[in-house]
Amino acid sequence: MYVKFNPSALLPLGLLVSSVLSSPTFPQQQPLGQNDDLSAAIRIHSKKPAVDAESLAATIETENLLKRAKDLYTIAKISELDFGHPTRVIGSRGHVATVEYVKKVLSSLGGYYTLGEQTFPAVSGYIYESRLVIGDTVIPHRPMSLTPPTKNKEPVLAKVVAAANDGCSESDFGEDVKGAIALIERGNCSFGQKSENAGKAGAVAAVVYNNEPGSLSGTLGTPLDHHIATFGIAREDAKPILEQLKAGKEVDGSAYIDSEVNVIRTKNVIAQTVLGDPENCVMLGGHSDSVEEGPGINDDGSGSMTLLEVAVQLTKFSVNNCVRFAWWSGEEEGLLGSTWYAQHLTPEENKKIRLFMDYDMLASVNFAYQIYNATDAEGDPKGSEELRNFYIEGYKGLGVNYTFIPFDGRSDYVGFIEAGIPAGGVATGAEGIKTPEEVERFGGKAGEWYDPCYHQLCDDLTNLDATAWNVNARLVAKSVGKYAESFKGFPERTLESDEVKAERKKSAKKWKYRGSKLVM
Ligand SMILES: *[C@@H]1O[C@H](CO)[C@@H](O)[C@H](O)[C@H]1NC(C)=O
Ligand SMILES: *[C@@H]1O[C@H](CO)[C@@H](O)[C@H](O)[C@H]1NC(C)=O
Ligand SMILES: *[C@@H]1O[C@H](CO)[C@@H](O)[C@H](O)[C@H]1NC(C)=O
Ligand SMILES: [Zn+2]
């Protein structure tokens, strides 16, 4: 069965969001315009055998996956010219070439897919130098990612004033904060919001101290107009300062951050089958970008190349439901591409996405087969738990053990969950530490990271476990095959009324992370 697909509906024009990001110079979409002969493509491809989970999984060959990883590494090396090492960070030649590579492969598939790309503004930041002295103590700290610099990129000398409460409301900052360094406890709202409130009150810098043991390192997230230079420090280092302030003593400090926050254009690539019911789509995504430090062959070369390989293999079949693949950009800067996409769906377009599956890091060398623990109990959109249960059955069927990990905001499912779309996914682990019990279940080394090269230069061709990749690529193929065949038994989506939407937003869960970075 197929229903004719209107390509212009693929990437709907949406309202632009926040002030910094709303420059009209960023077009929402540029349909690529191939697939001129849509009806011929539909005629040819609909004669193919109908897809199912097992048939699609049977097309996966480790050799094909490894060849794509090699292509990707060659592409990452293009950036050596500018960066001195391979990388596919947004804005680099390596990233641009990654996007071109994905598009080139997809457009050589006989019009099986309609391609779209979505250009959006992405924020990226660099921190060159920072220093924090309070009283006569040099305070160990981490500047928040995406922090603006102190005024004129010079040290500011000011008294230190503690926020009245958690700093989550403007009224937590009194008159005395004007011109001061604001000291704020972590908790209850994002670092970005605390910085914004302190900035609005006229503070010249903000210092957020941890509410649990250890140092504090996070991100301010999307830049806001009043963000000020913001540091994270340990609770232990804040304690003596707070005691002096409580005793009515005046405490002076010097805060300095030299940093840069830039807005660049980057793009998501979207491909949708010309076959299949376009009112009922299974959507999946991986991210096309890496961090600046390295080539990102596991993160997320493994996921994004799995998607590409599954997209290629899917062309051997016809589908009942539409399948939509996404290669997100700006994941490493805070899930920017996927969030942009999900936030710009009209209610009608939103409803067509029956579920979203996130595939980020599928071949970690010290792997565990991890399933995001999306549940009804946590208020995740209806269907997320069904998807989680599908992965349980999927891994069982592949004869391997699995484990649950928190569904806490670390990858590109966030925008979808926030838009009310059921979502889930699997991964093999990043900088978490493998336990002895997990070694019994998965093999590997206890006490070490799942991915020992996570966000480093060594995330290269040697940083892949071929067995784990093969298992996960077959699981991804099963997930596509299953829902492309049928959504039988899977919860329907409904058009939300404004009241329902408002209610859902009110009870929405607060994510601890946005991508790899702590936000609150
Ligand atoms: C967060 O809110 C709770 C409840 O209102 C409050 O008890 C707690 O002190 C707040 N946290 C901070 C850091 O102030
Ligand atoms: C999964 O999430 C549910 C709901 O919050 C929770 O009850 C359960 O303990 C979690 N399971 C694991 C293994 O984390
Ligand atoms: C699954 O884990 C158990 C230990 O809990 C182990 O005995 C078994 O060999 C594991 N199975 C596989 C396929 O690794
Ligand atoms: Zn990733």
Question: Which residue among 401, 437, 442 is best mutated to probe the pocket of ligand 3, counting the most ligand atoms within 8 A of its Cβ?
Answer: 401
Residue with token string 């999307």: 222
Q: Where are the domains of the chain?
A: 7-18+53-112+274-491, 123-262
Residues having C-beta closer than 5 Å to ion ligand 4:
299-300, 360
What is the structure's pLDDT at 172?
98
Shortest-distance ligand to the CA of residue 509: 2
Nearest CA to ligand 3 atom 12: 400
Ligand 3 close to Cβ of residue 398 (< 6 A)? no
pLDDT per residue of the chain (520 residues) written in tens, 0 to 9: 222 333 333 333 222 222 223 332 323 343 444 556 889 999 999 999 999 999 999 999 999 999 999 999 999 999 999 989 999 999 999 999 999 999 999 999 999 999 999 999 988 888 889 999 999 999 999 999 999 999 999 999 999 999 999 999 999 999 999 999 999 999 999 999 999 999 999 999 999 999 999 999 999 988 999 999 999 999 999 999 999 999 999 999 999 999 999 889 999 999 999 999 999 999 999 999 999 999 999 999 999 999 999 999 999 999 999 999 999 999 998 899 999 999 999 999 999 999 999 999 999 999 999 999 998 888 889 999 999 999 999 999 999 999 999 998 889 999 999 999 999 999 999 999 999 999 999 999 999 999 999 999 999 999 999 999 999 999 999 999 999 999 999 999 998 888 888 887 877 777 888 877 788 8
pTM of the shown model: 0.81
Nearest CA to ligand 1 atom 1: 188
Q: Dig out the tokens for 64 from the structure.
A: 């094909």
Helix (H, G, I), strand (E, B) or coil at 106: helix
Element (H, E) at 181: strand 181-185
Nearest to 285 by CA among 238, 328, 251: 328
Nearest to 98 by CA among 262, 272, 282, 286: 286
| For the CA of 443, the nearest atom of ligand 3 | 14
Q: How far, in Å, is the centroid of ligand 4 from the Cα of 360?
A: 5
Residue with token string 């060398």: 365
**CB-facing half-sphere around the CA of 26: CA atoms within 13 A:** 21
Q: How far, in Å, is the centroid of ligand 2 from the Cα of 135?
A: 45
Ligand 2 close to Cβ of residue 378 (< 6 A)? yes
Active site residues per annotation: 331
Nearest to 511 by CA among 381, 419, 406, 408: 408
| For the CA of 187, the nearest atom of ligand 1 | 13
CATH of domain 7-18+53-112+274-491: 3.40.630.10
CA distance 94 to 347: 35
Question: Which residue among 375, 387, 391 is best mutated to probe the pocket of ligand 2, counting the most ligand atoms within 8 A of its Cβ?
Answer: 375
Shortest-distance ligand to the CA of residue 513: 4
123-262 folds as: Glucose Oxidase; domain 1 (3.50.30)
Element (H, E) at 207: strand 205-209
β-pairing, 142-143 vs 277-287, is unpaired
| For the CA of 404, the nearest atom of ligand 2 | 13
CA distance 104 to 98: 10
Helix (H, G, I), strand (E, B) or coil at 165: coil
DSSP codes, 14-70: ----SSTT--TTS-S---------HHHHHHHHTTSPBP-HHHHHTT--HHHHHHHHH
Q: Dig out the tokens for 389 from the structure.
A: 């249960």
Name, in order, each residue with C-beta under 8 angstroms of 133's C-beta and a sequence gap of 6 or more.
Answer: 139, 253, 254
Shortest-distance ligand to the CA of residue 430: 4
Nearest CA to ligand 2 atom 13: 404
